[in-house]
Structure 1
Amino acid sequence: MRIIRDTPEQLIVANRPWLIGSMLILFILVFVGAGFLVASGEEGDLWFGLLFGGLGGGLGAVAFCVFVRRVQVIFDRSEGKITIRRQSVFGYSSNTHPLADLSHVEVEETTSNQNGHRSTLYRATLVLDSNTSAIGRSPTRVPIVAAYVSGPGAKRLAQRINTWLPASNHI
């Protein structure tokens, strides 16, 4: 995720998956183009070419629909709210939470062990304390993005948001 705006009044972070979206579109075009090229060749290759282009292009389209999701999170002091906007091929959603309920941002981890190789993935998660007033209720955790990623990006994002938060007491 990238920081789009960082002012004392507003912090905006966004994830725009341009690279994976572009790669999947190229994948679709290559398979559909190759399928049509094969289908336009010899007479016996018509069905194979259509099947090749249809399956390859279809798998690429499904992957595009599943993996390409835009996320924007707006932390706004003037309005006192957090807005999480998500957009995919299937539609747009927007959720809001009071900024005062945000305790901090933490990093969730998941570890997998495949073939003796251990890898750890991370994601930044908002910790909302609005439900902690009731006895026995724990804070609500809202992941900023659904997917876990490798590298230090989630830790840097959580650190930056946590640094921005205390300044809300000064305005």
Structure 2
Amino acid sequence: MKVIHQTTTQLIVEDRPWLIGIFMIVMALIFLAAGMALASSGKIFGALMMVLIGGGVPLLLGALFVQRVRLTFDRGTGTVTRTRRSVLGLTETSHPLNRVERARVGVSSDSDGTTYRMELKLGSPDDFVPFTTYYTSGKRPERMAQAVNDWLATCQAPIRPVEATAER
């Protein structure tokens, strides 16, 4: 999650979950290697199960959940566009830039701890647009929300500071 382009007329923030993608590929390769080892020792059924389930599940999960998400704030067109790309395709949604009131940090707490994600607060009608579908630990969502609010403030009335909201 980082700012990849920033000018007075355009701000682009992007999330590329490389670590999750690499983890899924490594996990699939481990199961494929184990399946090949079983096949070489003559255990064909075990090898097939290891390859199909052990290798297929991580690849399927990676295809479903590893997505590059980009928010493009463009004063020239007066829009904010959320682009989500995965191996399954491209999804793009746009909103008028003047509907964006501010960026905020959404909070999710459970027995494992507290995680965060950046969200856009839209007005008229009130709505929230999450930057990512998942919550994460660390300060990146707060830094991204602050970068968005700072950029929005360069042409609008002062933006309120980043607020954290609880979600269960």
Counterparts of 1:18-33 in structure 2, within 5 Å, are 18-33=18-33
In the TM superposition, residue 24 of structure 1 has moved relative to its aligned partner by 1.1
Q: 1:94 Cα deviation (Å)?
A: 0.5
Q: How does 1:19-168 map to 2 (within 5 A)?
A: 19-41=19-41, 43=42, 45-114=43-112, 119-131=113-125, 139-168=126-155
The alpha carbon displacement at 1:66 in A equals 2.7
Residues 46-100 of structure 1, C-alpha deviations (whole Å, 9 max, x = no match): 2112211221101111221232011011001111110100012221110010111
Q: Distance in 2 between matches of 1:18 and 1:108?
A: 22
Which consecutive aligned stretches of 4+ in structure 1 deviate over 6 angstroms post-superposition?
none
Q: TM-score, normalised by structure 2?
A: 0.88
- Paired with 2:47 and 2:33, the residues of 1 have a C-alpha distance of 9
Give distance in 1, aligned partners of 2:115 and 2:25.
Answer: 26
Q: Which has the higher contact order (CA 8 A, sep 6+)?
A: 2
Which piece of structure 1 moves more, 92-101 or 45-54?
45-54
The Cα shift of 1:120 comes to 0.8
Assess if the C-alpha contact under 8 Å between 2:64 and 2:88 holds in 1.
Answer: no
- Equivalent residues, number: 157
Q: Which has the larger radius of gyration?
A: 1
Structure 2 unaligned residues grouped into runs of 5+: 158-168
Gaps of 5+ in 1: 132-138
Using structure 1 for the length normalisation, give the TM-score.
0.86
1:64 maps to a residue whose letter is G
**Relative to structure 1, is the Cα distance of residues 90 and 76 closer, same or farther in structure 2, using a 3 angstrom cutoff?**
same
Identity of aligned residues (%): 37
Which one is further off, 157-166 or 21-30? 21-30
Q: Return the letter of the residue paired with 1:121.
A: T
Aligned equivalents of 2:127, 2:48: Cα separation in 1: 49
Tell me what 1:134 maps to: none
